[in-house]
Structure 1
Amino acid sequence: MTRIINLVGVVFACAVLVIGCITPARAAELPRIASMNVCTDQLLLTLADPEQILGLSRYSRDRFQSWAADDARRYRILSGGAEDIMVMRPDVVVASLFDKRATREFLKKKGLHVVEFDVPRSLDEVKDQIRQMGQITRHPDRADAGIARLDAAIGRVRAAVAQKRVRVLPVSRRGWVSGSESLLSSLLTQAGLSNAAGELGVGFGGFAPLETIISTKPDFLVVSDAGDRAEDDGSAFLLHPALQRFYPPSKRIVIPDRLTVCGGVMLADALDVLIAELRRVER
């Protein structure tokens, strides 16, 4: 019995030693990554190991734009220029095509591997970007799990909306309407709702007069804030007396911008918020 116990102890010690040897080696093989954009920040935070993240964009801690703002506080904030990225010498730089082109091109000329992400306009494109970041971080299993989470949320919201014909109109500051080609519209369509912006001939997005919004007569407005105070002239649009008369809180579906500005697994949270909001306005 003593020999068996000793043998088990030796095997356990060897296993610990092997694991201890493998883990640092594997960590050294994983790419070190810097992010230049608030949307690539969130993909990276979702899929990478903390040790892989060298720095995030200037807006990564903005709670209005980033679903992962709290997690971002653990990491270095980049200036938005090329200098601090050059000093860190990351294996990969992830950026948006909307980031400053001169900076991206400069980094490429200096030999850095820059991967550029376009703005997704559909949930299929979002899934592609999750897979792409999963490949970059070398964690494709996490990407698959994120996509599965998104698909599950789509299934839940479709079940909640089934057999209902609901027309909505996404409206934000100064009367900006998210059109039929926008990511938000794709989210609503996947949920089984109809975006009335298509009836206005709005593609990706555009401004609509107050009279047009009211005369379109959507069942609900989709807004990002339920507040009753305007911080500036842009947000005051949604508090116009005429708009409040026809679309009081019971006619407004609230989905925070931080859940829909970018593509990623946070869209699953956006869909769950949508379910809760539909239940609220239907009471």
Structure 2
Amino acid sequence: MRTAGALALALAVLPLGGAARPVPARVMSLNQCADQIVLALLPPSRIASVTWLSRDPESAVMARAAMRVGINHGQAEEVVRQKPDLVIAGTFTTPATRALLRKLGYPMIEVNEAASFDDIRAATRQIAAAVGERARGEVLIRHMDEELAALAREPVRPVRVAAWDGAGFSAMKGSLYGAVLGVAGAVNVADVPPAADHGEPDAEVLLAAAPDLLLQGAPGSRFPGLRDDVARHPLVRRYWADRMVTVKPTVYFCGTPFAADGARMLRQQIQAAAARPHAPLPFARTR
């Protein structure tokens, strides 16, 4: 397994700006997930700004690095003021902002949201090429692939889980969260009936699926709302109160080369929770 320390050393020995063509001296990212890759590839001196969201350690794996650079709120006015040589936008960046920046002639790339590890490789290579740091991008991808290979080699006890939040079942098939769960070695009940057949939150379907553990991630609003009625449904509190795993959003929120490290952390959490003694779920069918 390649450690984070080994990754940092591998990046440190690579020269910056190794591309033959001129590289952008000031890069501005308008997308929180692209922020993470930019911060991993470039020194602070080459980053005009990243989004303000990237300073939140709950959802941004590079939060400490983000504290060393400027921030933006995804507004075209900020781009005009900061005068970057390259703007990195995402599919969730406001279409009007992207259209205006194209009209004004700002060099810009648009990065798709990642829903798989292949998507992460593609996004990392796209950004690394645009900022002139292909070699450093490949180091990040190699770190991810080595961790994925290590996870695949290790035996793991299968544990049936449901990612359950204010919208009901999350981590559906085809999502990045679902991909991370698969690498973590969990059996995601959202992939199969009855949960796979229900897009709306339904506590009765949760009972029928009978997962061994519930995973709860990003906290919702601090103010009470209807989502709380789903996430903290009386049946959830009754049967899964001692079967709950709290998952940091950094594990599943953004598709970055650090997603494999998130899967490792999630595997450890799930296995530790599953090893604790639990009373059998009275409605679970024998498997």
TM-score by length of 1: 0.79
Corresponding residue SS for 1:171: strand
Residue 150 of structure 1 corresponds to 144
Give matches, 1:75-224, under 5 Å: 75-162=69-156, 164-200=157-193, 206-224=199-217
Deviation of 1:155 after TM superposition, in Å, equals 2.8
8 Å CA contact retained: 2:163, 2:214: yes
Deviation of 1:255 after TM superposition, in Å, equals 2.3
Give matches, 1:241-260, under 5 Å: 241-249=234-242, 251-260=243-252
8 Å CA contact retained: 1:214, 1:246: no
* Separation (CA, whole Å) in 2 of partners of 1:40 and 1:103: 16
Q: 1:58 to 1:225 in 2, by over 3 A?
A: closer
8 Å CA contact retained: 1:56, 1:75: yes
Equivalent of residue 262 in structure 2, options 262, 267, 270:
270
8 Å CA contact retained: 1:157, 1:274: no
Deviation of 1:85 after TM superposition, in Å, equals 0.7
* Separation (CA, whole Å) in 2 of partners of 1:253 and 1:151: 26
* 1:44 aligned onto 2:61: no
Deviation of 1:29 after TM superposition, in Å, equals 4.1
* 1:240 aligned onto 2:233: yes
Identity percentage of aligned residues = 25
Q: 1:278 to 1:177 in 2, by over 3 A?
A: closer
Unaligned ranges ≥5, structure 2: 1-14, 276-287
Stretch moving more, 150-159 or 40-49: 150-159
8 Å CA contact retained: 2:186, 2:267: no
8 Å CA contact retained: 2:189, 2:195: no
8 Å CA contact retained: 2:162, 2:188: yes
Residue 51 of structure 2 corresponds to 57
Corresponding residue SS for 2:114: coil
Q: 1:197 to 1:111 in 2, by over 3 A?
A: same
* Superposed CA offset, 1:236-276 (max 9, x none): 64333321332233x33332112211111231331121232
Corresponding residue SS for 1:194: strand
* Separation (CA, whole Å) in 1 of partners of 2:181 and 2:209: 18
Stretch moving more, 236-245 or 172-181: 236-245
Deviation of 1:217 after TM superposition, in Å, equals 1.2
The higher radius of gyration belongs to: 1
The structure where helix makes up a greater share of residues is 1
* Separation (CA, whole Å) in 2 of partners of 1:64 and 1:224: 10
Return the letter of the residue paired with 2:174: E
Q: 1:88 to 1:149 in 2, by over 3 A?
A: same
TM-score by length of 2: 0.78
Stretch moving more, 251-260 or 38-47: 251-260
Q: 1:126 to 1:24 in 2, by over 3 A?
A: closer
8 Å CA contact retained: 2:169, 2:195: no
Q: 1:66 to 1:169 in 2, by over 3 A?
A: same
Stretch moving more, 87-96 or 192-201: 192-201
8 Å CA contact retained: 2:165, 2:216: yes
Residue 8 of structure 1 corresponds to none
Corresponding residue SS for 1:94: strand
Q: How many positions carry a matched residue from both structures? A: 256
Give matches, 1:8-47, under 5 Å: 29-31=22-24, 32-47=26-41
Corresponding residue SS for 2:70: coil
Residue 18 of structure 1 corresponds to none
Deviation of 1:180 after TM superposition, in Å, equals 0.4
* Separation (CA, whole Å) in 1 of partners of 2:246 and 2:152: 18
